[in-house]
């Protein structure tokens, strides 16, 4: 019985070593393939930029032509929107209190 256990253990060890070498080889092949794909995609991107990069920039420039940023107007509208939202929220709270029978002008109701 002991001899059989040693034989099974030896076979298991040998199988593990062979499997380990095989998995290392597979991992190296996968890494090489990933590097090859990366280089291919990098070449494709550079070819695209070389061929169409100028056209892309021309489109962006044409779209931006005559566009002037209105930062002051945008800010003013945003401030107005926020103020309106606060006013609406306060009015909704007041109406809710009145529905529940609370007098919003009574100082006791304000905690």
Distance CA 17, CA 20 (A): 5
Residue 64's closest CA among 56, 72, 52, 75? 56
Question: What local confidence, expressed as pLDDT, does residue 47 receive?
Answer: 92
Question: What's the whole-model pTM score?
Answer: 0.38
Number of domains in the chain: 2
Answer yes or no: is 9 within a domain: no
H or E element that contains 105: none
Express each pLDDT in 6-40 by its tens digit: 565 665 655 666 667 777 888 889 999 999 999 99
Answer yes or no: is 37 within a domain: yes
Identify the weakest region by mean pLDDT among 17-21, 49-53, 76-80.
17-21
Question: What local confidence, expressed as pLDDT, does residue 109 receive?
Answer: 61
Answer yes or no: is 1 within a domain: no
* Confidence tier at 56 by pLDDT (50, 70, 90): confident
Tell me the residue range of the domain where 23 lies.
Answer: 19-55
Answer yes or no: is 63 within a domain: no
Does 23 share its domain with 51? yes
């Amino acid at each position: 019985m002991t001899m059989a256990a040693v034989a099974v253990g030896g076979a298991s060890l040998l199988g593990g070593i062979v499997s380990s070498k095989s998995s290392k080889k597979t991992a190296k092949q996968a890494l090489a393939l990933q590097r090859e794909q990366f280089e291919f995609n990098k070449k494709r991107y550079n070819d695209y930029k070389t061929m169409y990069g100028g056209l892309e920039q021309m489109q962006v420039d044409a779209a931006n032509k005559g566009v002037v940023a209105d930062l002051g107007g945008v800010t003013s509208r945003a401030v107005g929107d926020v103020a309106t939202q606060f006013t609406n929220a306060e009015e909704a709270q007041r109406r809710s209190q009145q529905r529940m029978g609370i007098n919003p002008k009574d100082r006791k109701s304000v905690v």
